[in-house]
Amino acid sequence: MRVTISDKLKILKCRNADEVQKIKVQLAKTVLMCRNERHVSQKQLSERTGIPQADISRLESAEANPTLDKICRIANAFDMNVKLTFEPKIVVEYV
């Protein structure tokens, strides 16, 4: 079976969507953990950040695609810094 360039692009798009969802889930877990550790409600976080409570709810359920500005505002509300890293991944190509 021959893999075409179109097939490779479809695979990359699927991988990208999976990676984006994993990042959303990790962010959701992090925000929820910070909020719970500090006994802060979504409404209180909304008031501290100026981000609508509905947006915070969507973020915590990994449905939102928050901007870096919103992520920084949430981190600041928890007196935290944002750390973003790029890590190499292992890619196996089948010929």
Question: Do the domain assignments include residue 88?
Answer: no
Domain that holds residue 29: 5-77
Quote the CA–CA distance of 26 and 9 in Å, as a whole number.
26
* pTM over 0.95, yes/no: no
Q: What is the CATH number of the domain that holds 35?
A: 1.10.260.40
Non-local (6+) Cβ contacts of 42 within 8 A are 35, 53, 56, 57, 60
Question: Do the domain assignments include residue 82?
Answer: no
Question: Do the domain assignments include residue 16?
Answer: yes
Question: Do the domain assignments include residue 65?
Answer: yes
Question: Do the domain assignments include residue 85?
Answer: no
At 89, phi and psi to the nearest 5?
A: -120, 155
Q: Residue 89 has what pLDDT? A: 75
Quote the CA–CA distance of 24 and 64 in Å, as a whole number.
8
Q: What's the full length of the chain, in residues?
A: 95
Question: Do the domain assignments include residue 30?
Answer: yes
Per-chain mean pLDDT for the chain: 87
Per-residue pLDDT of the chain (95 residues; tens, 9 = 90+): 565 666 555 555 657 788 888 899 999 999 999 999 999 999 999 999 999 999 999 999 999 999 999 999 999 999 999 998 888 877 767 76
Domain count, the chain: 1
